[in-house]
Chain A
C-alpha cells in the first residue's frame, strides 16, 4: 500500500493532538516546550505533504524550512527564560511561579 496525503495528514493531526495534550497536562516548563515543538512539527509535516500532493511546487517546503529555523530560535529564547526561572525560583515547575495577582 502506498502512503497518500491522508496518511500524512493523519500523522500530522495526531502529532498536533499530542502536542496540545502535552501543553495542557505537563507542569514542567521544559515538557511544555516539547509539546510546542510537536505542534510546530505537525504543521511542518502538513506543509511538506501539501507541497507534494496539492501544490506540486516548493513553497510549502520553503515554509517548512523557515519554520524549522524559527523553532530553533524560539527554543533558544524559551530555554533562556526557563533558565532565568530556575535561577530565580529554584524550580522549573510552572505551578510554583505565581507571584503576580497578589
Chain B
C-alpha cells in the first residue's frame, strides 16, 4: 500500500533490506583487491570471490522474499515485489556469466595482467542492475543507469588490443552517453513540471494536473529515449548490433539479458508509478486486478504499440540477412524487445506478469544460445553460421541443446519460449488489440527462418566429421540452461507463481 510508504530519513538500519546489493558491492571491492595478488594463468581468487559473492547475494535475495513494499535510504530506493524478483534474476545472470567466462578464450586468453578485473566488473554490474530495479527517485534512476552503462563500456572494450572490441566500446560509449544525456534533460523537464524528484510524488503532481501536457509529452519522450536505448528498442538500437558483434562473447551474452532486463525493470517502475493512477484496492494475483487509469499526456497504448511493432519487425527482417551468429542474435534480441513491449501496452498487472515471465525465460534461453556460441568459438575460432556445418555429427548433444534454445527463441512448443509468448499474446488479445497480435504472430513466423538457418547448418550441411569435445565446464552450464528451457515448457506453475507474487507485491500497482 502506498499509504504505508511514509517519507523517512536514511538510516543505517535500512541496510537490513539492502543485503543482496551490499553483498555485491563488497564482492566487487574484494575481487578488485584480490586481482592485485592474483598469480598464474587464470585469476582463481577474483573468480571464486565474484562467483561466491553472486551466489551469496542470490541466496540473500531468495531468503528475503517476499519483500514487502518498503521505502528505504531516504526514499531513494523501494524494496518491493518487483525489486525482489529482479534481485534474484541479476545475481543469477552474473553467476552464470562468471561461470562460463572462466573457460572462455576471449576473456582469459589475450590479456596478460589483471584478468580478474572482469569478474569484479560483473559483480559491479549486477549491483547496478539491482539498483535500477529498485530506484524510486530521479537521482537513483540516473545514477543506476550510469553505473550500469559505465561498467558496460569498459566490458565491451575488455580486449584492449582487439580492433573490434575497441570499436564496440567506442560506439557504445558515444551512443550511450548521448542518450543518457538526452534522458537527463527529459528528467530535468519532468522535475521542473512537477517540482518533485520521487516517482510517487511526481505522480501526485501529475494527478493534480500541475503539468502542461505538451511539455510533459516532450519530457516523457526524452526519458523513453534513454530507457529505449538501454533495452535497444528501435529507433534507439543503432549501437546494438555493432556492440554485440565486437564485444567479447561472454560480455555480449551478459549485455543481451542483463542491462536489457534492468532497463525493463526501470521502465516498469518509472512508467507504472508516474503514469498510472491507482485503481484502488488490493491487486490480487492473477485474478481481477484493478486496472489503473493511465494519466499520460498522449495516447500511451498506441505509442507503445507502434514502438513494439517497429522494433520486432525491424529486428526480425534484418536478422534474416545475417551470417554472423552474434550479429544474428543481436537482431533477434531487438525483436524480442518488441515482443516484450507488447506487455507494456495498457500498464496492467496481467501485462506485467507476462513481461516478467518472458524476461525470465528469455534470460535462460538467450544465455544458452550465447553460451553455445562461446563454447564453439573456443574450439573453432569463429562464429559464422557456416562454421557450424556438420555439427550434428561432430557434437550431437551440443547441437541438440542448441536446437532446444532455437526452438524456444522462436516460441515453439514444448519449450519455455512458447509459454512466455503465450502469456504476452494472451494479454494483447484480452485487451482487444487484435492487429498487434497478428503482427506479432507473423513476426514469429519470420524469426523461424533465421533460427532454422543455424539448425540447417548444424544438421543438413555436410562439414568436418572429426568429433568435437567442448570444455567440460561449458557443457555442464549448457545442460544447466537447456534443462529449464525444456522443463518450463511443460511445467511452469512454480515460476508463474513466483512471478505472480512479484507483481502482487509491486508498489506501483498498490501492492
Binding site for B on A (CB under 8 A): 9, 12, 16, 19-20, 23, 29, 32-33, 35-36, 39-40, 42-44, 46-47, 49-50, 54-55, 59-60, 62-63, 66-67, 70, 73-74, 77-78, 81-82, 84-85, 88-89, 94, 97-101
- A46 with B189: CB separation less than 8 A: yes
Which chain B residues numbered 112 to 164 have a C-beta less than 8 Å away from chain A? 138-139, 142-143, 146, 150, 153-154, 157, 160-164
* CB < 8 Å neighbour of A77 from B154, B182, B196: B154
**Residue B178 at the chain A interface, CB threshold 8 Å:** yes
The smallest C-beta distance from B291 to any residue of chain A, in angstroms, reads 32
Given contacts A70-B146, A88-B166, whether A81 and B157 have CB atoms under 8 Å apart is yes
A57 to B, closest residue via Cβ = B195
Chain A residues with Cβ below 8 Å from B160 are: 84
Chain B's interface: helix, strand, loop or mixed, by majority? helix
* CB < 8 Å neighbour of A50 from B166, B173, B185, B192: B192
- A39 with B181: CB separation less than 8 A: yes
Given contacts A39-B182, A60-B191, A63-B138, whether A73 and B150 have CB atoms under 8 Å apart is yes
Total interface residues in chain B, CB < 8 Å: 41
- B242 with A100: CB separation less than 8 A: yes
Binding site for A on B (CB under 8 A): 138-139, 142-143, 146, 150, 153-154, 157, 160-164, 166-171, 173-174, 177-178, 181-182, 184-185, 187-189, 191-192, 195-197, 241-242, 245-246, 327
Given contacts A19-B181, A63-B138, whether A55 and B146 have CB atoms under 8 Å apart is no
- A85 with B185: CB separation less than 8 A: no
Given contacts A40-B184, A84-B169, A101-B241, whether A74 and B177 have CB atoms under 8 Å apart is yes
The smallest C-beta distance from B146 to any residue of chain A, in angstroms, reads 5
Chain A residues with Cβ below 8 Å from B182 are: 20, 39
Bound complex: CA A60 to CA B195 (Å) = 9
Given contacts A84-B166, A85-B166, A89-B163, whether A39 and B178 have CB atoms under 8 Å apart is yes
Given contacts A43-B185, A46-B188, whether A32 and B174 have CB atoms under 8 Å apart is yes
* CB < 8 Å neighbour of B191 from A50, A89, A99: A50
Given contacts A74-B146, A81-B153, whether A63 and B197 have CB atoms under 8 Å apart is yes
The smallest C-beta distance from B403 to any residue of chain A, in angstroms, reads 28
Bound complex: CA A46 to CA B215 (Å) = 14
- A46 with B241: CB separation less than 8 A: no
Given contacts A39-B178, A54-B195, A100-B245, whether A81 and B166 have CB atoms under 8 Å apart is yes
Bound complex: CA A80 to CA B92 (Å) = 30
- A70 with B177: CB separation less than 8 A: no
The smallest C-beta distance from B84 to any residue of chain A, in angstroms, reads 26
- A97 with B170: CB separation less than 8 A: yes
* CB < 8 Å neighbour of B142 from A54, A66, A77, A97: A66
Bound complex: CA A47 to CA B354 (Å) = 37
Given contacts A77-B150, A101-B242, A101-B245, whether A66 and B166 have CB atoms under 8 Å apart is no
Given contacts A43-B188, A101-B241, A101-B245, whether A85 and B170 have CB atoms under 8 Å apart is yes
